[in-house]
Structure 1
């Protein structure tokens, strides 16, 4: 089995943002030369998350609205006494920092409407995204 690791850097411009990173991840899978296996996409940050879903512009805004409703930024979270971003930590913990996709025939396997999205929950920031491809 072979392992190929590469990294993306995504610069976000807003406090909350959904960024489509699908094409960059697909480029890394192709660059890996791995034909069959799996690809993990991981964001090593406590206030960002990775999801797989549609990247329609209205839906990108809906993801952010949902996060804001479920993890209210202006709520009296105890962590806000330190740096006012408890909502981002909580949302990232629930949504998760990674997703795993199959790789078949040298291509990332995903549904028609499944794109890979970085959710920025405490921006603007520069976010690292680790892409690890394992297989043959």
Structure 2
């Protein structure tokens, strides 16, 4: 069952770029999720990075370079997460109950690399329900999200530690100091 997780989030790299660049801030977040399937709310951490960036008008880009988890913007509600989990179980049943060529046709060397873990369902669920990249508008120095919207990482193959690239793009970069 998908849970709403309090992720362990660490900023492992942060760089505020000089004026004149369209990228005002670049950061890497390390997100550790302790459950097999969970949704981690990143919204507060992203708000903090936008504030640090100093961008008044622009875009926050969040990129997830993984294939068995992904990003989503939606309401962060435990009952909604259960509903989505039930839907995904119908559309992409767990590897223990369904044949996925991804799992069954691996060579012995590939199985060693993946630790013998069957995760075809995780890949299918990530493709169906998430995005590898999100762009959220920044306006008046804050993320422009609807009242119930949250930016979340949906994990389908945990427990795992994931890395996300976050960049605040300034729509009107200031000219470099002379």
Confirm or deny a common fold (TM above 0.5): yes
Pick from 62, 67, 89 the counterpart of residue 46 of structure 1: 67
Partner of 1:79, secondary structure, is helix
Pick from 142, 148, 151 the counterpart of residue 107 of structure 1: 142
Per-residue deviation at 1:65?
A: 2.7
Moved over 4 A (4+): none
Per-residue deviation at 1:71?
A: 1.2
CA offsets 1:13-52 (integer angstroms, 9 cap, x no match): 1111011111011111111111111111111111111000
For residue 93 of structure 1, what is the aligned residue in structure 2? 127
For residue 9 of structure 2, what is the aligned residue in structure 1? none
TM-score, normalized by length of structure 1?
A: 0.92
Which whole-Å CA distance do the structure 2 matches of 1:41 and 1:34 have between them? 15
For residue 129 of structure 1, what is the aligned residue in structure 2? 164
Instruction: Give the count of matched residue pairs.
Output: 136
Per-residue deviation at 1:2?
A: 2.3
Which whole-Å CA distance do the structure 1 matches of 2:35 and 2:132 have between them? 19
| Higher relative contact order, chain-length normalized (CA < 8 Å, sep 6+) | 1
Per-residue deviation at 1:67?
A: 2.3
Per-residue deviation at 1:96?
A: 1.8
TM-score, normalized by length of structure 2?
A: 0.71
Q: Gaps (5+ residues) in structure 2? A: 1-20, 107-116, 173-178
Q: Pick the structure with greater CA Rg.
A: 2
Q: Gaps (5+ residues) in structure 1? A: none
Q: Aligned pair 1:75/2:98, yes or no?
A: yes
Q: Aligned pair 1:29/2:59, yes or no?
A: no
Per-residue deviation at 1:113?
A: 0.7
Which whole-Å CA distance do the structure 2 matches of 1:56 and 1:77 have between them? 30
Which whole-Å CA distance do the structure 2 matches of 1:103 and 1:63 have between them? 28
